[in-house]
Structure 1
Amino acid sequence: METPLSTRPPPSDVSPSADGEPAVAVADVLPEFADAFPFEEFNRMQSETLPALLNRDDNVVVSAPTASGKTALAEIAICKTLQAGGTALFLAPLRALTNEKESEWERFEDLGYSVYVVTGERDLNPRRAERADVLVMTPEKADSATRKHDSRRYGFITDVDCCIIDEVHLLDSDRRGSVLEVTISRLRRLCDPRVVALSATMENVDDVAAWLDAPDATTFQFGDDYRPVPLNADVKTYSHGENAFADKYRRLYRALDLAEPHIREEGQALVFVSSRQDTVQAAKKARDEIVERDVPMGARGEYDFHTEAAELDNDTLRQSVLDGVGFHHAGLSREDKDRVEEWFKRGLIQLLFSTSTLAWGVNLPARCVVIRDTKLHDPLEGEVDMSPLDVLQMLGRAGRPGYDDMGYAWIVCDRADADKYRTLLREGKEIESRLADDLDAHLNAEIALGTLGDIEDVMDWLETTFYYRRAQRAPERYTAGTDLRERVSDTLGDLVADGFVEMDDLSVEGTPLGRLASKFYLRLATARRFKDCADRAATDPDGFDEDAILSTVAGATEFDSVSARSDEEDAVAAVIGSRGEELTAGQRKVLAILRSSMSGTTPSELQSDAWVIKQNALRMLAALRAFLDRFAGARGANLARRVEARVENGVSADAAGLTAIDGVGPGRARTLAAEGFRTPADVVDAGVAGLVAAGLSESVAERVRDNATDLPNVVVEWGEFPDQIAAGERELHEVTVRSVAGSARAGIRVTVNGHEMTTKPSYLGQATVPVAAFGGDADELTFAIEVTFPELPIPPVRESRTVSVER
Structure 2
Amino acid sequence: MAVSEVLPDYAGAFPFERFNAMQCEVLPALLDSTENVVVSAPTASGKTALAEVAICEALDADGTALFLAPLRALTNEKESEWERFEDLGYSVYVVTGERDLNPRRAERADILVMTPEKADSATRKHDSPRYSFITDVDCCVIDEVHLLDSEKRGSVLEVTVSRLRRLCDPRVVALSATMPNVDDVAGWLDAPADNTFEFGDDYRPVPLHADVRTYAHGDNAFADKYRRLYRALDIAEPHIRDEGQALVFVSSRQDTVQAAKKSRDEIVERDIPMGARGDYDFHNDAAELSNDTLRQSVLDGVGFHHAGLSKEDKNLVEQWFKEGKLQLLFSTSTLAWGVNLPARCVVIRDTKLHDPLEGEVDMSPLDVLQMLGRAGRPGYDDKGYAWVVCDSSDADKYRALLRDGKEIESRLAEDLDAHLNAEIALGTVGDIEDVMDWLETTFYYVRAASAPDEYASESALRERVSDTLRSLVARGFVERENMRLEPTPLGRLASKFYLRLDTAREFADLAEQAEEDDARLDQDGILRAIATAAEFDSVSARSDERDAVAAVLGETDDLDPGGRKVLAILESRMRGTTPGELQSDAWVITQNALRLLAALRAFLDRLAGPAAANLACRIEARIEDGISDDAVGLTAIDGVGSGRASKLAAEGITTPADVREAGVSGLHAAGLSEGVAERVVDSAGELPNVVVEWGEFPDSVAAGENDMREVTVRNVGGDARAGLRVTVNGVEMATRNRYLGEADLPVGVFGGNADELEYAIEVAFPELPLHPVVETRSVRVE
TM-score of the aligned structures, taking structure 2 as reference length: 0.97
Superposed, 1:375-394 pairs within 5 Å as 375-394=352-371
2:564 maps to 588
- The amino acid that maps onto 1:613 is I
> Within the alignment, does 1:537 sit opposite 2:514 as a pair?
yes
State the Cα deviation string for residues 527-553 of structure 1 (Å, max 9, x = none).
001111111111211232111111111
1:665 maps to 641
Superposed, 1:54-93 pairs within 5 Å as 54-93=31-70
> Within the alignment, does 1:803 sit opposite 2:779 as a pair?
yes
Asked if the contact 1:77/1:196 (under 8 Å) is kept, the reply is yes
2:618 maps to 642
1:340 maps to 317
In structure 1, the residue corresponding to 2:453 is in which secondary structure? Answer: helix
Shift in Å, 1:610? 1.6
In structure 2, the residue corresponding to 1:617 is in which secondary structure? Answer: helix
Quote the Cα distance in structure 2 between the aligned partners of 1:574 and 1:86. 57
Shift in Å, 1:424? 0.4
2:594 maps to 618
> Within the alignment, does 1:252 sit opposite 2:229 as a pair?
yes
Quote the Cα distance in structure 1 between the aligned partners of 2:675 and 2:229. 53
1:16 maps to none
Quote the Cα distance in structure 2 between the aligned partners of 1:105 and 1:702. 37
Asked if the contact 1:534/1:628 (under 8 Å) is kept, the reply is yes
- The amino acid that maps onto 1:696 is L
Quote the Cα distance in structure 2 between the aligned partners of 1:127 and 1:658. 28
- The amino acid that maps onto 2:117 is E
Superposed, 1:129-168 pairs within 5 Å as 129-168=106-145
Shift in Å, 1:179? 1.1
- Of 226-235 and 481-490, deviating more is 481-490
Superposed, 1:545-556 pairs within 5 Å as 545-556=522-533
Superposed, 1:121-520 pairs within 5 Å as 123-479=100-456, 483-520=460-497
Shift in Å, 1:102? 2.2
2:706 maps to 730
State the Cα deviation string for residues 7-28 of structure 1 (Å, max 9, x = none).
xxxxxxxxxxxxxxxxx33333
Quote the Cα distance in structure 2 between the aligned partners of 1:189 and 1:580. 49
Asked if the contact 1:201/1:393 (under 8 Å) is kept, the reply is no
The equivalent position to 1:748 in structure 2, one of 716, 724, 728, is 724
Shift in Å, 1:567? 2.4
Quote the Cα distance in structure 2 between the aligned partners of 1:144 and 1:785. 39
> Within the alignment, does 1:119 sit opposite 2:63 as a pair?
no
Shift in Å, 1:618? 1.2
Shift in Å, 1:125? 3.1
RMSD: 1.7
In structure 2, the residue corresponding to 1:452 is in which secondary structure? Answer: coil
In structure 2, the residue corresponding to 1:483 is in which secondary structure? Answer: helix
State the Cα deviation string for residues 661-700 of structure 1 (Å, max 9, x = none).
1222223322333333332112212223333444434333
1:656 maps to 632
Identity of aligned residues (%): 79
Asked if the contact 2:302/2:327 (under 8 Å) is kept, the reply is yes
Shift in Å, 1:210? 0.8
In structure 2, the residue corresponding to 1:626 is in which secondary structure? Answer: helix
State the Cα deviation string for residues 141-169 of structure 1 (Å, max 9, x = none).
21122122112222221111111100000
1:20 maps to none
- Of 309-318 and 483-492, deviating more is 483-492
Quote the Cα distance in structure 2 between the aligned partners of 1:589 and 1:480. 43
In structure 1, the residue corresponding to 2:752 is in which secondary structure? Answer: coil
- Of 197-206 and 448-457, deviating more is 448-457
- The amino acid that maps onto 1:427 is D
In structure 2, the residue corresponding to 1:42 is in which secondary structure? Answer: coil
Which runs of 5 or more residues in structure 1 are unaligned?
A: 1-23
Asked if the contact 1:580/1:591 (under 8 Å) is kept, the reply is no
Shift in Å, 1:457? 2.3
State the Cα deviation string for residues 201-239 of structure 1 (Å, max 9, x = none).
322101111111111111111111110100000000000
Q: CA distance change for structure 1 residues 106 and 543 in 2, over 3 Å: closer, same or farther?
A: closer
Quote the Cα distance in structure 2 between the aligned partners of 1:339 and 1:349. 11
State the Cα deviation string for residues 22-76 of structure 1 (Å, max 9, x = none).
xx33333323333332333221111111221111121111100011111111122
The equivalent position to 1:633 in structure 2, one of 609, 617, 631, is 609
In structure 1, the residue corresponding to 2:340 is in which secondary structure? Answer: coil
Which runs of 5 or more residues in structure 2 are unaligned?
A: none
Quote the Cα distance in structure 1 between the aligned partners of 2:729 and 2:652. 29
1:11 maps to none
Quote the Cα distance in structure 1 between the aligned partners of 2:323 and 2:376. 15
Quote the Cα distance in structure 2 between the aligned partners of 1:57 and 1:467. 25
- Of 263-272 and 703-712, deviating more is 703-712
Shift in Å, 1:465? 0.8
Quote the Cα distance in structure 2 between the aligned partners of 1:704 and 1:132. 32
Q: CA distance change for structure 1 residues 654 and 736 in 2, over 3 Å: closer, same or farther?
A: same
Asked if the contact 1:551/1:580 (under 8 Å) is kept, the reply is no
Quote the Cα distance in structure 1 between the aligned partners of 2:294 and 2:654. 43
1:525 maps to 502
Quote the Cα distance in structure 1 between the aligned partners of 2:184 and 2:468. 25
State the Cα deviation string for residues 332-388 of structure 1 (Å, max 9, x = none).
111111111111111001111100100111111000000001100011111000111
Asked if the contact 1:204/1:431 (under 8 Å) is kept, the reply is yes
- The amino acid that maps onto 2:580 is S
Quote the Cα distance in structure 2 between the aligned partners of 1:313 and 1:480. 57
TM-score of the aligned structures, taking structure 1 as reference length: 0.94
- The amino acid that maps onto 1:733 is R
Superposed, 1:700-715 pairs within 5 Å as 700-715=676-691
Quote the Cα distance in structure 1 between the aligned partners of 2:616 and 2:97. 23
Q: CA distance change for structure 1 residues 499 and 223 in 2, over 3 Å: closer, same or farther?
A: same
Asked if the contact 1:681/1:712 (under 8 Å) is kept, the reply is no
Quote the Cα distance in structure 2 between the aligned partners of 1:538 and 1:740. 30
1:683 maps to 659
Q: CA distance change for structure 1 residues 519 and 323 in 2, over 3 Å: closer, same or farther?
A: same
Asked if the contact 2:125/2:496 (under 8 Å) is kept, the reply is no
Quote the Cα distance in structure 1 between the aligned partners of 2:577 and 2:133. 43
Q: CA distance change for structure 1 residues 793 and 282 in 2, over 3 Å: closer, same or farther?
A: same
- Of 71-80 and 221-230, deviating more is 71-80
The equivalent position to 2:12 in structure 1, one of 25, 31, 35, is 35
Quote the Cα distance in structure 1 between the aligned partners of 2:302 and 2:751. 84
Asked if the contact 1:201/1:389 (under 8 Å) is kept, the reply is no
- Of 409-418 and 747-756, deviating more is 747-756
Shift in Å, 1:182? 0.8
Asked if the contact 2:178/2:198 (under 8 Å) is kept, the reply is no
Quote the Cα distance in structure 2 between the aligned partners of 1:697 and 1:524. 48
- Of 420-429 and 680-689, deviating more is 680-689
In structure 1, the residue corresponding to 2:214 is in which secondary structure? Answer: strand
Quote the Cα distance in structure 2 between the aligned partners of 1:770 and 1:137. 51
Q: CA distance change for structure 1 residues 99 and 566 in 2, over 3 Å: closer, same or farther?
A: closer
- Of 448-457 and 773-782, deviating more is 448-457
- The amino acid that maps onto 1:584 is D
- The amino acid that maps onto 1:167 is E
Quote the Cα distance in structure 1 between the aligned partners of 2:354 and 2:10. 45
- Of 664-673 and 616-625, deviating more is 664-673
- Of 647-656 and 353-362, deviating more is 647-656
